Amino acid sequence: MSFCVFFKSTGGGTLHLIHLPATSNVAENSPPETLVHKFSVNLSVSLSPVIPGFPLIINSNPLTEAFRVNWLSGTDFQVVTTGEEQLDFETGPNIYDLQIYVKDDVGVTDLQILTVQVTDVNEPPRFLGRLAEGLDLFIAERQIPGFIYQVEAFDPEDTGRNIPLSYFLISSSNNFGMSANGTIFSTTELDFEAGHNSCHLIVEVRDSGGLKASTTLRLTIVNINDEIPRFTSPTRVYLIPEELSVGTIVANITAEDPDDEGSSGHLLYSMTTVGNYFVINQLTGTIHVAQRMDRDAGELRQNPTISVEVLVKDRPSGGQENRIQITFVVEDVNDNPATCRKLTFSIMVSETAANRTSLLDLNKFCFDEDSEAPNNKFNFTTPSGVGSSHRFLQDPAGSGKIVLIGDLDCENPSNLAAGNKYTLIIQVQDVAFPYYKNNIYIFIFTSPEDEFPLIFDRPFYVFNVSEIRPARTRVGQVRATDGDFPQSSIVYSISSGGASPQYPNIFWINPKTGELQLITKADYETTSIYILRIQATNGEDTSSVTVTVNIIGENDEKPMCTPNSYFLAIPVDLKVGTNIQNFKLTCTDLDSSPRSFRYSIGPGNINSHFTFSPNAGSNVTRLLLASSFDYEGGLDKIWDYTLLVYITDDNLLSGRRKAEALVETGTVTLSIKVLPHPTTIITTTPRPRITYQVFRENVYSPSAWYVPFVVTTGSVLLLGLLVSLIILLAKAIHRCCPCKTGKTKKPLLGLCLKLSLSMNTVFDGEAVDPVTGEIYQFNSKTGARKWKDPLKQMPTWTEPSLQGGGTRKETGR
C-alpha cells in the first residue's frame, strides 16, 4: 500500500531534500548497512532544525522494510539496507520507489522519491532442501548395482537461463559413482556381513561461472535377512536309553544367524517330523522326551531308531530357515522282570497218578519282555514248600518242568495231615543285572477217586410230629457218609412222598444237613402217615432211604354249630323254662366226640335270663328262658339282647381245674327281641286259633323336634321312590300284558294291589309259631306278621273238627 503527502512550498530558502529525487543501484544479496544513496537536507531561512527521526521513508512501492535512512552528520543522510528482507534479483522485485519525508520544528516539510534498482550478481549454486546441510541415505544390502540417489541443486542465474550445473564426486569410492547430472549409483553388490556397513560421499556442484557448493551424503548399509541360519551342534546321532522320564533333555541343537552377527537369540526351532516321542524348545533348541519310550513294545521293538527333522528359522513367518536330520537310537535296558502269564497255578492230580508224571511246564507260561539278550533271558530256582520236597521235583534243574516223585493217596495218613494239597514256590529270575525276580505259586490238589459207596447210617427212619406244630418245626434228621477222603459235600433231597390235598409237599429237607422240617402244619384228620423217599448224593454216588413220618393227632379243630347266628322274638311274659321258639343248636367237631361239648353264654346275657339245656355232654342243646323279665320293677331295662354263645369241646366237669388236652372253642351269635304287652289286638289272618297282636307305644318327646322333620322328609322321598317304581311297573305290565278285553282288567288290578301291599310292609324277622310249628315273618318295629311263603315251607297242623270233635289237617298258605 502506498500513499503520498502533499505540501505547499514556502518559496526560496525553504526546507528541501538535496540530491533527491534520484536513482541508485544496489547489488542483490547485499548485507545489512550497505550504502544505497546519500542525500542532504537544505534547512529553511529560519534555520529550524529537522525534527529528530526525520527524514524517514514513509512509504515504498512495493512495500518493503529492506531500507532505512541513517544520519551521517549535520544535514547529511544516507539510505542503507536493513537486512530484514533478502534482496534477490531472481525472485524478488528489482525496483523500489522509496518516499523520503523530512520535517523541521516549525512544521515545514518536504517529500522526494528515491528509486532503487537491484542489480544482478552471479551467485554460487545451492543444494535444495536438507541436502544443503548433508543427507543420510540408507541402502539395503544385496541390492542390485545401480541408481541410489539423484542430487539436485539450484543456481539463480544458470537455472533461470537453463544452463546445466555440473556435479562431481569429490571422495573416492570403489563401490559408488556419480554422473554429471547428479545421479549417484552403486557399482557393486553391497554385503553387510562383509564389512560394508557405512560410508561418506562428498558431492560438489558448479555453475557456469565457476562458483561451486558441496555437501556430504552419509550412506548406511542396511542389514537384511539374507543369510540362512547355520547349525553349530556337531552331533547328528544320539544313543539314548529307554524309559527316560518325560521332560528329560536328550539333545541340544544349536545354530547361529550370520545376519545377527552370529547371535542365536532370535532363532526359532521346531520339528517337522510327525511323532510323539520328542518335543523341542522353540527358543533354546533343546529336545525333550514327550512320552514314554518302551524299547520292548510297539514300533520300537521292531525298529529302535527314531529320526526327526529340526527346522530353524530366524523369524516366525518368512525369513530364512535351515533344516537338519537328527537320529535317536533307543537302547534296551533290563527294565522288565521275567514274569509269567500266570503267577498262580492250580493243578488237580489224581490220587492214583504214577511217579514221574509231568505236572507243569513253566516255560509255556513265562517270558521276559525285554527285547535284547541278555536282558530277556531267565531261569527258575529250586522249588520250595512244606511237604513238597519228597513229592515234587524240577527235572532237569532250572528247567521249570515239574514232575511227581511221591505218593498222593488221599487215604494215606501223611497226606491227610497235609490236607491232600501242596504249595510249591518257585522264582523266575533274570540272568542280567539287576536280576529281577518273581514268585510263582503252584497249588497242587489231590483229586480223590470214588472207592467207597455212599450209605445212610440207618436202613430206614421213623419220625413222629404233632399236627399242631408250626412251619419250620424239626421233624428229624438223616445222615449219609462216604468212606472216601476227603469227604465230599453231600446234598439231600426228597425224591418222593410228602404230598397233602392242599400242598404238593408239606416237608422240606436241608440239602446240607439232612434235617427234615415242616413247611406247613400237618393235618391228622386228612393224612396221618407220610412215607418219604430221601435221596443223598455227593456228585459221584447216590443213595436213598425210606422215612416214615407219623402225624400225632391233637385237638385243633373248633366246634361248628348250626345255625351260626339267629334272630328270636319272644313275648315279655314268656314262662320260665320255655324252649324259646323251639330253638336248638346242633354242633360237630372233626376231632372231638359228640359228648365232649360244653355250652356257655358270654357277654349280653344281662340278668342271666337265658340258658342252654343240656349245658354239656351233648352235641344238641336248646335255648331256655331261665328267669322272667321285670321291666315294671326296673330290674330289666333293655328289650334287645345279643348273646355270644361259647361252645367248648373239653366237657370239663365242675371238679376239674384245667383241661387234660388242648381246648378249642366255637361261637354262635343270637339276637333276641323281647316284645312288650300289646295295646291293641289286630287279627292279621283269619286262621283259627291264631291271634296276632300289634303293640304300639308313644315314645315321642318334645325335645326330639327333629324326628318329625326327618320322618317327613324320608316319607316324601320314599313316596317319590314308590311312585317311580309303580310307574315303571305299570309300564312293564303294559308292555308284557296288554289289555284287550274288559275281563282282564280285574286280575291285573288285583296283581297290582298285591304288589303294592307287599312293597309297603318290610318284614325283617322270622319266628316259629309255638302252637302250629309254622314259620311266620314279622316287622320288628310295627309288630306286623305274616305267614312265610307256603311254597318254601308248608307246615301241617291239626285242628279239632267243629262237628263231633273230629280233627282235620290244613295246609297253611
CATH of domain 16-117: 2.60.40.60
CB 700 within 8 A of CB 792: no
Fold: same for 126-222 and 560-654+661-675: yes
Q: What is the largest CA-CA distance in the chain?
A: 221
Rounded to 10 degrees, what is the CA torsion of 770, 776, 779, 785?
-90
Q: Compute the distance between CA of residue 548 and CA of residue 529 in angstroms, rounded to an integer.
A: 7
Candidates 3.30.70.920, 2.60.40.60, 3.40.50.300, 2.120.10.30; CATH matching 126-222: 2.60.40.60
Cα distances (Å, whole numbers) of residue 63 to 70, 379, 448, 519, 750? 19, 122, 144, 145, 159
DSSP 3-state helix, strand, coil percentages of the chain (rounded to 5)? 10, 40, 50
DSSP per-residue letters across 176-196: EEE-TTSEEEESS---GGGT-
CATH of domain 560-654+661-675: 2.60.40.60
CB 36 within 8 A of CB 19: no
Domain 339-447: top CATH class: mainly beta
Note the pLDDT of residue 621: 93
Note the pLDDT of residue 701: 57
CATH architecture for residues 230-331? Sandwich (2.60)
Domain 455-552 has CATH 2.60.40.60: yes
Question: Collapsing DSSP states into helix, strand and coil, what is residue 750?
Answer: helix
Note the pLDDT of residue 662: 73
- The ranges assigned to domains in the chain are 16-117, 126-222, 230-331, 339-447, 455-552, 560-654+661-675
pTM over 0.75? The answer is: no
Across the chain, which has 813 residues, the per-10-residue mean pLDDT values are: 36 79 91 93 88 92 92 92 88 91 91 92 84 85 86 82 86 85 87 78 87 88 81 92 94 87 74 91 93 91 93 82 93 90 90 87 89 88 80 86 85 71 89 89 85 88 91 94 80 92 91 93 88 92 94 83 91 90 88 83 88 88 91 88 88 46 83 78 46 51 70 91 92 70 44 45 76 77 74 43 37 35
The amino acid present at 539, given as its one-letter code, is: G
Angle at 390 between CA 386 and CA 394, to 5 degrees: 95
CB 580 within 8 A of CB 675: no
- CA-nearest of 526, 384, 551, 424 to 475 is 551
Neighbours of 731 (CB within 10 A): 10
